Structure 1
Amino acid sequence: MLKKTKHGGKDGNIIRFPDLDKRLLEKGQEYLQRENYHEAITLFQETVQLDPSNSEGCIGLILAYYGAGYHEDAVELAKVMLHEGIGNYFDIMDLYIKLLFQVRQYSEIVTLIEGLLAERTIPSDRLEHYYSMLDIARQIEQEDAAEQTDHDVFTDMEKDFQLKKYTDPQEQLILAANLAKINIQPYLNEIKSYLCSDKGMNRTETVKEDPFFKTLLLNVLMEHQVEQPVEVHKFGKTMSVIPKDLVNVNDIPELREMTNLIGGRIEHDDPILYESIKMLIHRQFFLLYPFPLEARDIAVWAAAYHVLGCEYFGNHDNKSEILEEYHVQEADFARADAFIRMIEEISYPNI
C-alpha cells in the first residue's frame, strides 16, 4: 500500500529498535515544523512502512508532501487513507477535501460531497460544514467554466451596448476579457455611466452582481490606461479615480499586510487553511475595489477574516482564542466581522 517513493531521501533496510516508529514519528514532526520537508518525507515513509495503519505518520507524510510541492502525492495518500480506513474517517475526509481545493479539483469535491449527502453518512454536527464546502466548490467550478467559455459576445453588443443587460457573471467575465482587447472609446461613456450608477440598490439580486462587475470594468479601464476621472459607486459610497493611476488590487498594501499577519500565525501549521483565508480576503478586496477598508487596525480585520475562514472549514469554537492572539477587543472585532459578513452575504454567490 504505502511504499517509499521517489521523494524519499534514503534507502536501505530498517532495523527495528524498540519504539522505533514513535522515534521516527517525532523526528519527522520536528523536521516538518522546521519546513525540512524532504527529510520529513523520508522519516514519515519509514514510519508507515513499519506500521501502515499509523494515522499520525500518514497525516505527517501528507503534510510533508504538500509542503514540498508534491500536491498530487498528498491527495493520493489521503485518498488511500479513506479507502483503507486509516484514521478517523471524517477527519481524513476534511483533509482530503482541503487538498482537493488546493489542486483545484472542484468537480471532484462536488461529486464527493453530493455522494456523502445522498448516502446520509455525514454526522449531523458536520452537515453545515459540508454544505458550505459544497456551495464554495460549485461556485468556483462555475467561475472556472466561465473563464474557459469561448463564444463571441460582440455581435449583439455592438448593436445595442447596454451593460445593465449583462446580469450573468459568466457573461460579465467574457465581456470584460473582450473589452480589454479592443478599442474602448466607443464603449467608454456607457462604462463610466455604469460605474457611477447605484442601480438596483433596492433590489438584492442586482446588488449581488454589481460590485463584481464594476471591478471587472474598472480593470478594463486600467488596462487601457484611461486618464479621465471616473466616478465609482459601491456599497452606498462614491469616489472619483483615474484608472491609469490605480494600484492593482493584488498590490494594495493593506491586503499584503493582512495576509502576512495571518500567515505568520498559521501558514506553517495549517497552510491549507491559510490559503483559503487568503482567497477569502482577495475576493472581498476585489469586490470593494477601489474603496479601502474602513480605518481600523489591520489586526482587527485580520482576526475577523481568520475567524470567518475557520468557520468555513467547520471550526466555530476558536473566536476567543483568535481575538486574544491578535490582541483585538470584542467590540472592534464585532464591527469588522459584521461588515465582512455583509459583503459575503450580498456578493459571494456571483464570484
Structure 2
Amino acid sequence: MRKTYRPIRRKGNVVLFPGTYERIVTEAFEAFERKEYAQAVERFEAALAIEREAIDLYGPFAYALYECKQYDRSKTYVEQLLERDPDHYFEWMELYITLSIQLKQYDYVETAIDGLFEEGLIPEHLTKKFIYLRQLNDRLLHTYDFLEEDPVESALSFETFEQLPLDEQLETLAQIENEGPEHALPLLLSIVQSSSLSPLIQTHSLVLLKEVGFDERVRVMKYGVEKVVVPSELPYPTDHLVSEEVKRIVRKQLEKSPTEAAVAERLIDQYVLFAYPLEWDGFSIEEVAHAYIAYVRHLYHDVPLDRNELIEQLERVDRSAERFNR
C-alpha cells in the first residue's frame, strides 16, 4: 500500500511540521470557547499567518478582536466577510454596525440601518434586533455626544449615584453604555438589586448587564415583586413575545375602537419597559389582554374596574411611568 503524506506547509522559508496549522486552529477555537479572547486572538493570528485566506477563521477572529476592543481590526475582517460570505450577510452586518457604533460612526450607522429598512432587506426574525441598534445609535448620536468630554468615573459609588437627579442618572448610564459597561459592574449590580430607584433605571442597568454577557444570578426587586434572573439569558425588552400576543388580542377585541387599542398597546409597551424582567406571572395571556381592555375603558369611559391583583399591578406600573414622565 502506498503511504500518503499531508501537503507540506511553509511559513516564509520555514517548513512547518504536518498538523501544525490544525493544532493552532484547534487552540484558537478552544480559547474562544473558554472566552479567553486575548489568547484566541493570538492563536487566530498565528493560524492566519500560515493560511491567510482561511475565510472560515475570519468570523470567530473578528468576534475575538471585538471582545478585546480592537474594533478597527475587527471591522476589517467583517468587511471581508460581508463580501465573501453572503449566506451569513446579516450576521456580519449586525456585527459591522455594532463595531461602527463602538467607533462612534453614528452618522454612517443611521444611514446604513435606514437604508436596509427602506429597501425591505432585513429578515423578519432580525427586525427587532436592528430596531434596537437604531435606537441605541440614535440615543448616542442625538442625546449624549457631550459625554465624550466628561468620562465617567468607574469607581462611582452606588450611594453617589442614588443621590443624583433622575436625568443625571440616565446620563450616567448612557455614558457607561458608551464607554463599556464591563467597567461599571459593581454599580450596575447595585442598581438592579435596589428598590429605591426608578424601575426604568433598573431596566437600563439590567440591559447593560445582559450586553456584557453577565451570567450570574441576580435578584431584582420591582413593584414589591422579587425575581432572580441571569442577565445574559434574558431577552431584550423589545423581544417580549408574550406582550406581542397580548397586543394581538387587544387589537382584535378593540378593532372598532382604534384609539383605545392604541392606548392599550402603549400601556403594554410601557409595562414591559418599566417592569422588565417581570412579566405577568401567574396570569394567562387572555387574562392580561382583558385586564388592559378593562383598564383602558375605565380611563376613557369611567367604567368601574373589577379590582384584583392584576389590575392593581397594571396601575402601579402606570403610576410609576407617569411620575417618570413628569
- In the superposition, the TM-score normalised over structure 1's length comes to 0.46
- In the superposition, the TM-score normalised over structure 2's length comes to 0.49
Higher relative contact order (Cα pairs below 8 Å, separated by 6+ residues): 1
